[in-house]
Amino acid sequence: MPQWADHLVEALELDLLGYFLLAVLLGGAIGLERELRGKAAGLRTNILICLGAALFTRLSVTLAGPSGDPARIAAQIVTGVGFLGAGTILHSRGSITGLTSAATIWLVAAIGTAVGAGAILEASGTTLLVLLVLRLLGSLEEYLQRQAVVARLHVETDPDPRMVEEVERVLRQSGLEVQEIRTGARGDRMVVHVSVRGPRRLHDDARLSLLRTSGAYTLSVEEE
């Protein structure tokens, strides 16, 4: 490369711009996959996280100088991304959603940090692996979920509100997903109606556990 071109690259910091463009591309690749799946943390969010992590890492190296610690600013990226990830996790009636999105945000920040540190090969390879995991294992996960059995359980117990929590606890400990739970009355007893989802083998274990530990008088099952 001619000497004048070297001076131009140095003056305009085109190499730095190249790092930032790569961060946009890698974060955008993962963000596009999330966007196509309808996730809250989609294209723009992942691009901004990756670009921001790359910028903070470059600034950390620059501001540290020859005698400082270049990891001081970059280390705070992990803390900051933790707040973003926590915002994507939702907890409702004992079920948790958004963990994959939170983990993706964490990884995108790590990729941006790698780009900012000049570890281009590591950042690119990690992006490829993340896309493979999200696409291939996501399809496998959906297939396994389709194999799950949905059933409605009707558990007759004493009229004690604590029994509702006990029934739900037993079912969740058995590994089943509790989708809906409500109560009704049958004479002087309470009936807990629960909709659960999971592999068939777990359903059998859950029914036995209910009869043994929850104090249920009768248990009837309707499979969908």
State mean pLDDT over 117-125.
Answer: 91
**Higher model confidence: residue 20 or residue 2?**
20
Residues 157 and 141 in one domain: no
What pLDDT, on the 0 to 100 scale, is given for residue 89? 67
Residues 32 and 133 in one domain: yes
Number of separate domains in the chain: 2
Phi, psi (rounded to 5 degrees) for 161 = -55, -25
Residues 13 and 59 in one domain: yes
Residues 110 and 186 in one domain: no
CATH number at residue 210: 3.30.70.260
Residues 153 and 136 in one domain: no
Choosing from 119, 145, 171, the residue where a domain stops is 145
Domain range enclosing 133: 3-145
Based on DSSP, count helices (H) and strands (E) in the chain, helices before strands. 9, 6
Nearest Cα to Cα of residue 163 among 148, 183, 144, 178: 183
Condensed to tens digits (0 to 9), the pLDDT of residues 136-169 reads 877 776 666 666 778 888 888 888 878 888 888 8
At a CB cut-off of 8 Å and minimum separation 6, what does 99 contact?
89
What pLDDT, on the 0 to 100 scale, is given for residue 79? 77
Residues 81 and 175 in one domain: no
**What's the CA gap between 154 and 168, in Å, rounded?**
12
